[in-house]
Amino acid sequence: MAAPRSWGLWSFCCRGWSRVLPGCRLPGLRSSWPRGPLGARPLSQEKRATETHFRFETVSEEEKRGKVYQVFESVAKKYDMMNDMMSLGIHRIWKDLLLWKMRPFPGTQLLDVAGGTGDIAFRFLNYVQAQHQRKEKRQLRAQQNLSWEEIAKKYQNEEDSLGGSHVMVCDINKEMLKIGKQKARAQGYKAGLAWVLGDAEELPFDDDKFDVYTIAFGIRNVTHIDRALQEAHRVLKPGGRFLCLEFSQVNNPLVSRLYDVYSFQVIPVLGEVIAGDWKSYQYLVESIRQFPSQEEFKEMIEDAGFQKVTYENLTSGIVAIHSGFKL
Ligand SMILES: COc1cc(O)cc(C/C=C(\C)CC/C=C(\C)CC/C=C(\C)CC/C=C(\C)CC/C=C(\C)CC/C=C(\C)CC/C=C(\C)CC/C=C(\C)CC/C=C(\C)CCC=C(C)C)c1O
Ligand SMILES: C[S@@+](CC[C@H](N)C(=O)[O-])C[C@H]1O[C@@H](n2cnc3c(N)ncnc32)[C@H](O)[C@@H]1O
């Protein structure tokens, strides 16, 4: 899919900085994250007693689960607007880049975990539809003797317009899914899309089911990242691909300084002013700092059984896309 022209300069900034300037890391803590909330699965005594981190505090895993749930329940309605305002729209380019890296083929079965309000799913549907239409046009040009009725029929079948591709959005939070479904209705997405309430650590799907697994800005919130990665590996078909878009560690000293000021001094203030929610945005910036570095996360993905694991820094490492294959 061609990049919209207006994204050109931003896209250069987002991708290019990381290549131009050599690395410098922000101090990153590796933490054992508590699992997200579904509430249904009873935890053992041992698990209940385990401690973890929420923001920079030590809390029980149970507490953390509930707190993460509350954060997204609280931000759901303003989530999309906040992202545009706080990132000046840059998050859209990061998400586009994830799709361009995925390059889905006709018939791709995608599972988007922690899919929230559907940004990745909608991009996927746009991508496969555009790709399918180009293919149809090529075919039509090749068979110029088709009647208008036959041509119209080809465009009428909505399911067919996706070439058999499908995306399943899975998220633990009802409110985020609710907003996602409303958006889908408003924007006319219907075919090839399903919404499921579920925990990344215990996915409600059979083994070997999907061609691609994505998780965008989600894995940082999961209690046990290792369990989520194992689940990703389980539900992917052999040959399937894991793709994760997540905040990471900045590799440029100047950007790092500005980023720290912006994160800690500006983001929570914007959270309070625009959404009346300082705490959730304080949680966002603190959770970013606690997420493993690019290399550490790469190792975790390998530990879960993925092969050919690579990552690409975007915007000087503010975020990174990790990729791995189930071979
Ligand atoms: C509760 O949990 C969450 C809630 C959510 O709403 C979202 C998430 C998950 C996140 C996403 C889905 C992604 C979208 C959301 C964000 C990006 C918000 C979080 C943002 C950051 C942690 C910081 C990174 C921000 C950017 C890269 C956007 C670029 C920002 C600017 C250009 C800032 C401009 C700001 C001003 C002019 C205000 C004045 C600022 C200051 C006085 C401080 C000095 C700062 C700067 C001069 C700018 C610093 C900018 C950079 C270091 C980035 C430069 C990069 C480029 C220009 C390309 C969720 O979990
Ligand atoms: C920052 S949002 C990302 C949403 C979307 N992927 C995007 O890029 O805009 C994080 C999402 O992760 C979800 N989440 C947190 N813990 C989860 C878990 N254990 N399993 C599934 N989803 C989870 C939250 O409910 C929230 O919708």
Position of tokens 């215990």?
Answer: 202
Position of tokens 């705490």?
Answer: 279
Cross-strand bridge partners of residue 196: 170
322 vs 298: CA distance, rounded Å: 7
The pLDDT assigned to 25 comes to: 28
CA 286–ligand 2 middle distance (angstroms): 16
Residues flagged as binding site for S-adenosyl-L-methionine: 117, 171, 199-200
Cross-strand bridge partners of residue 166: 109
Amino acid identity for residue 26 in this structure: L
Q: How far is CA 318 from CA 12, 28, 91, in A?
A: 14, 13, 11
The pLDDT assigned to 109 comes to: 98
Cross-strand bridge partners of residue 29: none
Shortest CA distance to 72 belongs to which of 162, 186, 174?
A: 174
Buried b (16+ CB within 10 A) or exposed e, 147-179: eeeeeeebeeeeeebbbebbbbbbbbbebbbeb
74 exposure class (CB count in 10 Å sphere: 0-12, 13-18, 19+): middle
Per-residue pLDDT tens, the chain, 327 aa: give them. 334 434 444 444 445 333 322 222 222 222 232 233 333 333 333 444 466 666 666 676 877 788 899 999 999 999 999 999 999 999 999 999 999 999 999 899 999 999 999 999 999 999 999 988 888 788 777 777 777 777 666 666 655 778 899 999 999 999 999 999 999 999 999 999 999 999 999 999 999 999 999 999 999 999 999 999 999 999 999 999 999 999 999 999 999 999 999 999 999 999 999 999 999 999 999 999 999 999 999 999 999 999 999 999 999 999 999 999 999
Fold of 78-154+162-326: Rossmann fold (3.40.50)
The pLDDT assigned to 159 comes to: 56
Which of 83, 98, 172 is the pocket-test mutation for ligand 2 (most atoms within 8 Å of CB)?
A: 172
35 vs 119: CA distance, rounded Å: 23
Identify which ligand lies nearest to the alpha carbon of 280. Answer: 1
SS (H, E, C) the chain: CCCCHHHHHHHHHHHHHHHHCCCCCCCCCCCCCCCCCCCCCCCCHHHHHCEEEECCEEEEHHHHHHHHHHHHHHHHHHHHHHHHHHHCCHHHHHHHHHHHHHCCCCCCEEEEECCCCCHHHHHHHHHHHHHHHHHHHHHHHHCCCCCHHHHHHHHHCCCHHHCCCEEEEEECCHHHHHHHHHHHHHHCCCCCEEEEECECCECCCCCCCEEEEEEECCHHHCCCHHHHHHHHHHHEEEEEEEEEEEECCCCCHHHHHHHHHHHHHHHHHHHHHHHCCHHHHHHHHHHHHHCCCHHHHHHHHHHCCCEEEEEEEEHHHCEEEEEEECC
Spatial neighbors of 108 by CB under 8 A, at least 6 apart, are: 124, 128, 165, 166, 211, 212
The pLDDT assigned to 63 comes to: 78
pTM: 0.84
The pLDDT assigned to 56 comes to: 61
Q: What residue owns the CA closest to ligand 2's atom 14?
A: 114
Cross-strand bridge partners of residue 131: none
Nearest-atom number in ligand 1 for the CA of 17 is 58
The pLDDT assigned to 29 comes to: 23
- Is any ligand 2 atom within 6 A of the Cβ of residue 281? no
Q: What residue owns the CA closest to ligand 1's atom 57?
A: 13
Phi, psi of 100 (to 5 degrees): -70, -30
- Is any ligand 2 atom within 6 A of the Cβ of residue 171? yes
Nearest-atom number in ligand 1 for the CA of 255 is 52
- Provide the ipTM: 0.86
Identify which ligand lies nearest to the alpha carbon of 65. Answer: 2
Q: What residue owns the CA closest to ligand 2's atom 1?
A: 217
CA 314–ligand 2 middle distance (angstroms): 20
Spatial neighbors of 152 by CB under 8 A, at least 6 apart, are: none
